[in-house]
């Protein structure tokens, strides 16, 4: 029977086959050492080395480690070989008897990686390394800051209202509050003049 998929080549390290399932650019891949891999376009430059900390499964030939969700301390190191575009995909849309035909092409932006090393332990995740440093700084900062800060309350200054920007209804309300008489027949200019006295 013919099988269309090639068997994944597992290199041996001291007679032990080792592979990992890792998340790269939002997708999960089964990787082995010295494997070429095409993933979604990464921002890293060609020739640079990248490390991926989200390792979900690690098999060293003797023991299978499964993370919850990721294995702490495990990482996969790779080298960016090149940035390229994938094969063209034709997207053709048609509605029969309507004269609607649209043809588009698409080439996905990809990055070619070579897996250099799979580390089971020893590497600290970036988040753990970053979070450990600020904790010490915040503890020392808490000691320096006094617990109670006394603030003085300042009496608010008398605010002079600007009557020209108010509506007639608002001006009539203000005039009623001040006790001005005969406001029903007054226009806006008269109300402003009466209130500003």
Average pLDDT on 163-182 reads 85
Tokens standing for residue 145:
């800051």
Rg over CA atoms, the chain: 36
Q: Which residues pair with 33 in a beta bridge?
A: none
Spatial distance between the Cα atoms of 94 and 105, rounded to a whole number of angstroms: 15
Which pLDDT score is estimated for 187?
Answer: 83
- The per-residue pLDDT of the chain, averaged, comes to 81
Confidence of residue 186 (pLDDT cuts 50, 70, 90): confident
Spatial distance between the Cα atoms of 156 and 154, rounded to a whole number of angstroms: 6
| Residue 15: pLDDT band with limits 50, 70, 90 | low
Quote the crossing angle between the two packed helices 188-195 and 168-178, to the nearest 10°.
Answer: 30
Rounded CA separation 6/112 (Å): 19
pLDDT at position 124 is 54
């Amino acid at each position: 029977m013919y099988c269309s998929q090639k068997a994944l080549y597992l290199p041996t390290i001291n007679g032990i086959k080792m592979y990992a399932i890792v998340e790269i650019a939002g997708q999960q891949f089964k990787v082995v050492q010295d494997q070429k891999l095409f993933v979604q376009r990464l921002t890293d430059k060609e020739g640079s080395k990248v490390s991926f900390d989200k390792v979900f499964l690690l098999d060293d030939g003797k023991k299978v480690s499964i993370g919850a969700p990721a294995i702490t301390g495990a990482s996969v190191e790779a080298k960016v070989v090149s940035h390229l575009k994938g094969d063209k995909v034709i997207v053709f849309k048609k509605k029969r008897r309507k004269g609607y035909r649209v043809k588009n092409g698409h080439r996905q932006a990809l990055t070619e990686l070579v897996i250099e090393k799979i580390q089971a332990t020893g590497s600290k995740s970036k988040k753990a390394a970053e979070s450990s440093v600020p904790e010490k700084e915040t503890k020392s900062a808490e000691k320096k800051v006094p617990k109670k800060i006394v603030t003085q309350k300042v009496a608010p200054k008398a605010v002079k209202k600007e009557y020209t920007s108010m509506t007639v209804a608002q001006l009539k309300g203000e005039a009623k509050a001040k006790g001005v008489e005969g406001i029903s027949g007054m226009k806006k200019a008269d109300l402003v003049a009466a209130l500003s006295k």
